[in-house]
């Protein structure tokens, strides 16, 4: 057996950092490929157990993650979606062409009421993304009224005619999407003004308080973030009790190749694996760049940063519609998720929300459903979300990696081979660990200080091959297993297999 590398991580359990919002573990569902139709929604007449057309096995699986929020209806689709087409009797709903995704017909059978029912079944907060690119201020304003207004008003009456008496609670509202591209090809300053205008008319009805999220930058385009912060006149916003929008977003995808050839989800070289890990780690530089700009305008951190699209983006699976973005999901994807969460935990003071793209059957999915049999498979990424559930709303505590193997050079970049983060909540501690070395195991000593630790246990997600994945014939090829934890002086010791993700839980007093 290969001699393990060694790492030592010091964690001061009694030095609290920011609270890790559960909304950093959010999800995204777009009218794209088989995410909604065939993924979440199969229709009332399906043989697959459903409630009002919504797949119950998908709901159950996501409830086990404690899914905190769900973003809908896009993505690029949001800026060509007209919400009135998706209400009323299904057979009478107008149809449209989904020009962004596969150029297929959209029958609008999954609309506002179906989405809100889905959120209620999931116990998740809705994050509705409005249409700026091809919509109007009035259209967006009326959608907010339709969803959230009690009493007597034109939109509240229309909602009641469609069978819903009480308003819903909608906490999160997106003001367009990728306005620099598919959302309207706008300049930063033009969009910043549009965001102010649209956000103004997205009213707080009754006691519903909207957290309005301005559509943000691609990757590290900090000019875009600066324009949005300028538009808020935010130099005074630490004194100003109410802002026009409450957060700005950005998108960061882990893409390793050129756009035309992003590489296969399941067939990749060891170098491609390390390049992927390096690109995943880069999210920290990008996030920090936006946070630094925001700090200059908003040192009191009143405006949130939202990463509402992240994850791996590979070539589609052979034989599938290129516009449907269906890809498999391996142990490599799971490690990308683990790295992102460690970064999110470290920046929980500014990052208020993140939604992975996307939940079912699209990009870095939690769940894949088989088109013919309907069988449901949980991906390795799903298991990382589940193993990290204890971090939801926990207090982050810094994990100082004081000894570690040398970083590895790859493709002109470097990859740190150890990733970690930690939190405490309600008398329990949770440490997440990744060994990103594809060949060498890792002995980790967790030097836990400040509180008394007892009752430790561990779980590990690993596979003999980093390209291992789950499918209907082998749904548990990659699944969590118990990890041995031994007491080592004042700390704990675990050995992580190559390319593995692990969590260590314990009680603190």
The catalytic residue positions are 178, 309
Return the SS3 of 377.
strand
Specify the DSSP class assigned to residue 290: H
Please, which of residues 181-240 interact with ligand AHR by CB under 6 A?
A: none
- Least gap, CB of 311 to ligand AHR (angstroms): 8
Residues 287-326 that bind ligand AHR (CB under 6 A): 309
What is the end-to-end Cα distance of the chain in Å, rounded? 38
- Say how far apart CA 300 and CA 229 lie, in whole Å: 13
Nearer to ligand AHR, 27 or 302 (CB): 27
Shortest Å distance, C-beta 357 to ligand AHR: 4
Interacting residue with ligand AHR among 229, 348, 357, 397 (CB under 6 A): 357
Work out the angle at residue 381's Cα, subtended by the Cα atoms of residues 43 and 255, and round it to the nearest 5 degrees. 100
Calculate the CA 107 to chain-centre distance. Answer: 27
Number of residues that bind ligand AHR (CB under 6 A): 10
* Residue 364 or 434 with smaller CB distance to ligand AHR: 364
76 vs 485 by CB, closer to ligand AHR: 76
Please check whether residue 6 is in contact with residue 403, taking contact to mean a CB–CB distance below 8 angstroms: yes
CB half-sphere exposure, 182, CA atoms < 13 A:
16
Q: Which of 142, 178, 386, 437 binds ligand AHR (CB under 6 A)?
A: 178
Q: Which of 4, 7, 30, 53 binds ligand AHR (CB under 6 A)?
A: 30
Q: How far is the CB of 322 from ligand AHR (least distance, A)?
A: 13
What would the x/- binding string for ligand AHR be over residues 453 to 482, using CB under 6 A?
Answer: ------------------------------
Listed ranges 116-124, 326-334, 355-363, 485-493: which one lies at the site for ligand AHR (CB under 6 A): 355-363
| Helix or strand run (H / E) with residue 251 | strand 247-254
Q: In whole angstroms, what is the distance from residue 231 CA to residue 192 CA?
A: 6
Q: Which residues, 6 or more positions from 342, have their beta carbon under 8 angstroms from its beta carbon?
A: 399, 419, 420, 421, 432, 434
Least Å distance between CB 337 and ligand AHR?
16
CB of 64 to ligand AHR, least distance (A): 24
Q: Shortest Cβ distance from residue 131 to ligand AHR (Å)?
A: 13
Options 21, 98, 148, 177; binder of ligand AHR; rule CB under 6 A: 177
Per-residue binding string, ligand AHR, 73-102, x by CB under 6 A, is -xxx--------------------------
Residues of this chain, 359-398, that bind ligand AHR according to CB under 6 A: 363
Q: Which is nearer to ligand AHR, 176 or 498 (CB)?
A: 176
What DSSP assignment string belongs to 125-182? EEEEEE--SS--HHHHHHHHHHHH--SS-HHHHHHHHTT--SPPP--EEEE-S-TTTT
Alpha-carbon distances of 93 from 40, 111, 142, 153, rounded to whole Å: 20, 10, 18, 23
Among all residues, whose Cβ is closest to ligand AHR?
Answer: 75
Q: Token pair of 217, please?
A: 């930058």
In the complex with ligand AHR, which residue's Cβ is closer, 33 or 498? Answer: 33
- Mark residues 39-78: x for contact with ligand AHR by CB under 6 A, - for none: -----------------------------------xxx--
Nearest to 502 by CA among 428, 440, 422, 424: 422
CB 300 within 8 A of CB 238: yes
Q: Which residues bind ligand AHR (CB under 6 A)?
A: 30, 74-76, 177-178, 309, 357-358, 363
């Amino acid at each position: 057996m290969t001699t393990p590398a060694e790492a030592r991580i010091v964690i001061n359990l009694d030095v609290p950092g920011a609270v890790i919002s559960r909304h950093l573990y959010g999800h995204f569902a777009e009218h794209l490929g088989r995410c909604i139709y065939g993924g979440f929604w199969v229709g009332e007449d399906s043989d697959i157990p459903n409630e009002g057309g919504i797949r119950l096995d998908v709901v159950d699986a996501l409830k086990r993650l404690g899914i905190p929020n769900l973003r809908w209806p896009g993505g690029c689709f949001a800026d060509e979606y007209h919400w009135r087409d998706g209400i009323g009797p299904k057979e009478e709903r107008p149809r449209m062409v989904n020009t962004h995704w596969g150029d297929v017909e959209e029958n609008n059978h999954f609309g506002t009421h179906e989405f809100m029912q889905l959120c209620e079944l999931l116990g998740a907060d809705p994050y509705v993304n409005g249409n700026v690119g091809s919509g109007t201020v009035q259209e967006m304003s009326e959608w907010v009224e339709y969803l959230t207004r009690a009493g007597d008003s034109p939109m509240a009456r229309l909602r009641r005619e469609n069978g819903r008496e009480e308003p819903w609670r909608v906490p999160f509202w997106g003001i367009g999407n990728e306005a620099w591209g598919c959302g309207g090809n706008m300049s930063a300053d033009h969009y910043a003004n549009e965001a102010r205008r649209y956000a103004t008319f997205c009213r707080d009805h009754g006691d519903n308080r909207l957290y309005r999220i301005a559509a943000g930058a691609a990757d590290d385009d900090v000019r875009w973030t600066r324009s949005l912060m300028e538009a808020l006149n935010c130099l005074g916003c630490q004194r100003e009790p109410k802002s026009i929008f409450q957060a700005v977003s950005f998108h960061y995808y882990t893409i390793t190749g050129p756009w035309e050839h992003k590489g296969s989800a399941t067939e990749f070289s060891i170098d491609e694996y390390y390049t992927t890990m390096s690109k995943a780690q880069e999210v920290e530089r990008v996030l920090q760049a936006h946070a630094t700009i925001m700090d200059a305008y908003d040192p009191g951190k009143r405006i949130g940063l939202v990463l509402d699209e992240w994850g791996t983006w590979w070539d589609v699976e052979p034989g599938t519609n290129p516009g449907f973005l269906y890809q498999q999901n391996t142990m490599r994807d799971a490690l990308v998720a683990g790295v992102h969460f460690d970064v999110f935990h470290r920046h929980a003071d500014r990052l208020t929300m993140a939604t992975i793209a996307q939940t079912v059957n699209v990009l870095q999915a939690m769940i894949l459903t088989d088109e013919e049999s309907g069988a449901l498979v949980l991906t390795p990424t799903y298991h990382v979300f589940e193993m990290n559930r204890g971090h939801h709303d926990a207090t982050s505590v810094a994990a100082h990696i004081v000894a570690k193997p040398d970083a590895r050079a790859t493709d002109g970049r470097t990859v740190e081979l150890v990733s970690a983060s930690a939190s405490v909540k309600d008398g329990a501690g949770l440490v997440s660990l990744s060994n990103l070395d594809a060949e060498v195991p890792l002995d980790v000593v967790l030097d836990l200080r400040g509180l008394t630790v007892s009752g430790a246990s561990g779980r590990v997600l690993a596979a003999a091959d980093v390209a291992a994945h789950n499918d209907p014939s082998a749904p548990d090829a990659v699944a969590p297993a118990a990890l041995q934890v031994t007491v080592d002086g004042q700390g704990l010791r675990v050995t992580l297999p190559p390319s593995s993700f692990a969590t260590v839980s314990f009680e603190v007093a």
